[in-house]
Amino acid sequence: MDVGLLSGLANALTLANIGFALVGCLLGTLVGILPGLGPASAMAILLPVALYLPPTGAIIIMAGIYYGAMYGGSTTAILMNIPGEVASVITAQDGFAMTKQGRAGEALAIAAIGSFLAGIAGTLAIAIIGPKVADLALRFGPPEYFGLVLFSMTALVSFAGRSIFAGLMLGVFGMWLASIGTDPLTGTQRLNFGTLELMRGFDIVPVLIGLFGIAEVLASLEQRIEQIYAGKLGSVLSMIPRGAELARGLVASARGAVIGFVLGLLPGMLPALTAYLSYDVERQLSRTPEKFGSGMIEGVAAPEAANNATAMAGFIPLLSLGIPTTPALAILLGTLMINGLTPGPMLFQQQALLVWTVIGSMLIANTALLILNLPLVGLWAHISRVPYHVLGPIVLAVCVVGAYAPRNTMFDVWVAIAFGIIGYVMRRLEMPLAPLVLGFLLGPLFEQSLRQSIALQGTPAIFFTRPIPLALIIAAVLVLGVTLWLRRRSRAVQGLIRDSTNET
Amino acid sequence: MLRAVIAGLLGLVLVAISATGVDAQAKYPIKPVELIVPFVAGASTDSCARVIAQVLEARWGVPVRVVNKPGGNTVPAVTEVMTARPDGTTLLVDNIASSAMLDTVVKNLPFKVSDRTFVAVMAYTPMMFIVHTDSPIKTLKEAAEALRKGTETFTWTSLGGVGAQDMVFRRFAAATGVDVSKTRAIALKGGAEAVTMTAGGHVQLGTGTWSAIAAPLSAGKLRVLAVAGPERWPKLDAPTTKEAGFADIEVSFWIGISGPPGLSADIVATWDAALKDVLSDKSVHEKMLNAGVVASYQDSRGMTARVEEDRKTTQTLFGR
């Protein structure tokens, strides 16, 4: 059959399909902005609707929600230090710093532009390389994952803050938290203290809502913040970054997109993880790594591009092998199946028009999202000037609903409140949150891949006899060495600067 | 005059109230029904529940909602249904693993599985034995040979005990005369991961259901050795276990609906009647087949017997 991207694009441009794409984008943006309500819950809620719609429309809407949420998630992260999406946690670090400097517009704009570039590049990559790289998802067995997770863990050191030891302990604490509840592999109970609710373990959403959303509100109340940014915001046009800053942002977006896309082909590499890793890469490459966290545009551009690229990349193993790489894509898989569409190479042949229409609609949806998000930049940016006694209670209410939504249980609301207090205390003690979150995200992958690998061969030797794990382990050691060396050097340099200023 | 009007109105109101009261008793359901699914949205148990919910909502005119409460090895969600009021507004949609296998494999459950009111089985799907396309194993007999020869290094996909995957492999091992505890069970999170792991060539023998197998099979990554059911699977050129020389290995992954202890016979009868009707509808069959399961109705008594039988099998296989 002679159906390709162009005919798909043409079909995606029918009024109905544009409508579906727009609805998906709007819903996705909304879901992204609301903390807690993630794409997976929104897609699950919409699943019944998908039974009524024509298959193409259902899939276009679902896909739109998924990547629309990646756009929207950055908004609240940047404006209020409350990530609307797990994938935007790291964006808050520099994004919120920029807002406090009155540069919310620049941060929002580069997040939207970075997401757009990654979305378009990702779509083209799906169209051009498509099924050819899907095999990567299969080739990664437990030992390969273990190598990858170990490599990702080197980021813990650079997120550790002032004390490496304290940072690592926080990472371990995060992994420990993630291990509470039912062992995902054998169903054994761990650390539930005989309570029924702890059997479920801690879900990432309420934990993050507490650590970031509720803790942020508590901290703001204590500091008697009247509004996040008291100065004036310029016009929409003046908010878009330009010149050297725009260039730096675009380069970082491109790197973030590549990292996000490649890792996004692998199951389990959540957009949140690739966002963290790309942020870390930017900091390692930067000449001024110490400025990260105080409003670097790269720190916003890279993770936002990465999480979007990861979202796009996931469609390759999903459509060609039926492998969902994230929970949200698992629901999309369900939507495909209910409509009688079995993913696989046959799908590309038998349902070529449908597949290409969906891919074509990604181009439209990403363009729509950019159009949707850029003019809104000014509007959103004004949120930073809303009096906090109005904003705070709204945020708290949204947090509580968001904590409840993913698993429909009150327990998660209590978890969010408890972690709100923990997050607040950590802020007071100036402990970094990033290692805790990273540990929480990596912990389950680390444990599973380690246990499964050893079960496969009976000994840990499996990590050294296979090329991919071995290469990743060596890379991890190298990165760790370089990071530690850089830290020492920058501390030495800082010491020198301090000494020299003391002398004068 | 006014008094007469008021009296008349009062009378009407009373009649109306009593009428709805009678109605409420006579006609279940009048309140929204929640179908609790102890798994994530999108998996086959969830898809099946959603197909049924949609049809029943149209039929009854009350909302029938599917609520996913995943996590904790299904125990928290099942406990919630077990302690819910038996008024038919809270029901559970689960499968063989959480109803017939859980209490054998997991100790100290906060409830007794046999206390549940089993309502009806809605669908089933046979387990299948699969290998990677490049595997030297071409038939189930060859798999048995490999298992016997290399027992200590034989890798297979387990869901950590609670899963039809474990049941079907254990029956296979029993038929082969091999002690399961000597093999290398690779514990995995779920049925989809078990198939992916096999399609990547990381384990020697995998098991799974059609919904997970279909895509990698069409991509040429898998070979189906046998279907552990009484009949061949449509559109699939693979023998049944019986044809492959293993007569009594038939394990079906079934999905059923049940309620709290003491669910009234009337409510059960209403569901049984509705499901019997709905499950003979062709369009429902098709939707179920899309979700990878075969619509198959079995009434309350049939489901209770089925759970008992599968529990006995589990107890024998797991040696408890």
The answer to whether residues B40 and B98 belong to one domain is: yes
Given a cut of 80, whether residue A235 has pLDDT beyond it is: no
> Token pair for residue B21?
């009261």
Strand partners, B125: B253
Average pLDDT of the segment spanning A389-404: 87
Provide the whole-model pTM. Answer: 0.85
In this predicted model, what pLDDT tens digit does every residue of A277-294 receive, in sequence order? Answer: 999 999 988 888 888 989
Q: How many domains does chain B have?
A: 2
Residues of A within 8 A of B203 (CB-CB) are 456
The answer to whether residues B62 and B76 belong to one domain is: yes
Q: Is residue B18 included in any domain, yes or no?
A: no
State the pLDDT at residue A504: 47
Nearest to A329 by CA among B250, B192, B227, B244: B192
User: How far does the CA of residue B139 sit from the closest CA of chain A (Å)?
Assistant: 23
State the pLDDT at residue B23: 46
The answer to whether residues B198 and B148 belong to one domain is: yes
Given a cut of 60, whether residue A94 has pLDDT beyond it is: yes
Given a cut of 70, whether residue B306 has pLDDT beyond it is: yes
Average pLDDT of the segment spanning B64-89: 90
State the pLDDT at residue A357: 93
DSSP state of A455: H
**Range of the structural domain that residue B163 is part of:** 128-227
CB contact, 8 Å: B153 with chain A? Answer: yes
The answer to whether residues B79 and B103 belong to one domain is: yes
Average pLDDT of the segment spanning A87-92: 91
Average pLDDT of the segment spanning B241-250: 93
Strand partners, B157: B186
Given a cut of 90, whether residue B295 has pLDDT beyond it is: yes
Given a cut of 60, whether residue A300 has pLDDT beyond it is: yes
Q: How many CB atoms lie within 10 A of CB A222?
A: 11
The answer to whether residues B261 and B117 belong to one domain is: yes
- Listed in sequence order, the residues at least 6 apart from A247 whose beta carbon sits closer than 8 Å to its beta carbon are none
DSSP state of B27: S
Tell me how far CA of residue A69 lies from CA of A72, A83, A261, A467, A470, in angstroms: 5, 11, 17, 37, 36
In this predicted model, what pLDDT tens digit does every residue of A121-143 receive, in sequence order? Answer: 999 999 888 778 888 888 889 99
Q: Is residue B47 included in any domain, yes or no?
A: yes
State the pLDDT at residue A391: 85
Q: Out of A302-306, A399-403, A459-463, A500-504, give the one with best mean pLDDT.
A: A302-306
Strand partners, B93: B257
Q: Is residue B9 included in any domain, yes or no?
A: no
The answer to whether residues B40 and B92 belong to one domain is: yes
Q: Is residue B149 included in any domain, yes or no?
A: yes
Nearest to B196 by CA among B181, B179, B213, B211: B213
- CA dist A120 and A245 (Å) reads 22
Return the ∠ at Cα A315 (arms to A372 and A441), rounded to 5°. 85
- CA dist A60 and A53 (Å) reads 11
State the pLDDT at residue B10: 52
Given a cut of 60, whether residue A403 has pLDDT beyond it is: yes
Q: Is residue B87 included in any domain, yes or no?
A: yes
Average pLDDT of the segment spanning A395-405: 86
Q: Is residue B84 included in any domain, yes or no?
A: yes
Q: Is residue B2 included in any domain, yes or no?
A: no
The answer to whether residues B165 and B312 belong to one domain is: no
The answer to whether residues B118 and B134 belong to one domain is: no
CB contact, 8 Å: B189 with chain A? Answer: yes
Q: Which of A323, A333, A457 best probes binding to B when mutated, by most B CB atoms within 10 angstroms?
A: A323
DSSP state of B88: S
- CA dist A250 and A110 (Å) reads 8
Residues of B within 8 A of A409 (CB-CB) are 69, 76
Given a cut of 90, whether residue A159 has pLDDT beyond it is: no
Q: How many CB atoms lie within 10 A of CB A324?
A: 22
Confidence category of residue B2, pLDDT binned at 50, 70, 90? low
State the pLDDT at residue B24: 45
The answer to whether residues B143 and B210 belong to one domain is: yes
Q: Is residue B205 included in any domain, yes or no?
A: yes
The answer to whether residues B115 and B263 belong to one domain is: yes
Given a cut of 50, whether residue A28 has pLDDT beyond it is: yes
Average pLDDT value over all residues in chain B: 89
Residues of B within 8 A of A322 (CB-CB) are 212, 214-216
Given a cut of 60, whether residue B4 has pLDDT beyond it is: no
The answer to whether residues B120 and B259 belong to one domain is: yes
Confidence category of residue B20, pLDDT binned at 50, 70, 90? very low
Identify the closest residue of chain A to B213 by CA–CA distance.
A322
Confidence category of residue B17, pLDDT binned at 50, 70, 90? very low
For chains A and B, count residue pairs whose Cβ atoms are closer than 8 Å: 162
Confidence category of residue B155, pLDDT binned at 50, 70, 90? very high
Beta strands at B90-95 and B252-259: parallel, antiparallel or unpaired:
antiparallel
Tell me the ipTM for this assembly.
0.82
Question: What sections of chain B are H helices per DSSP?
Answer: 2-26, 44-60, 75-82, 96, 102-105, 140-149, 164-176, 191-199, 210-218, 265-278, 282-290, 300-317
The answer to whether residues B258 and B283 belong to one domain is: yes
Average pLDDT value over all residues in chain A: 87
Helices then strands, counting H and E runs in chain A, come out as 24, 2
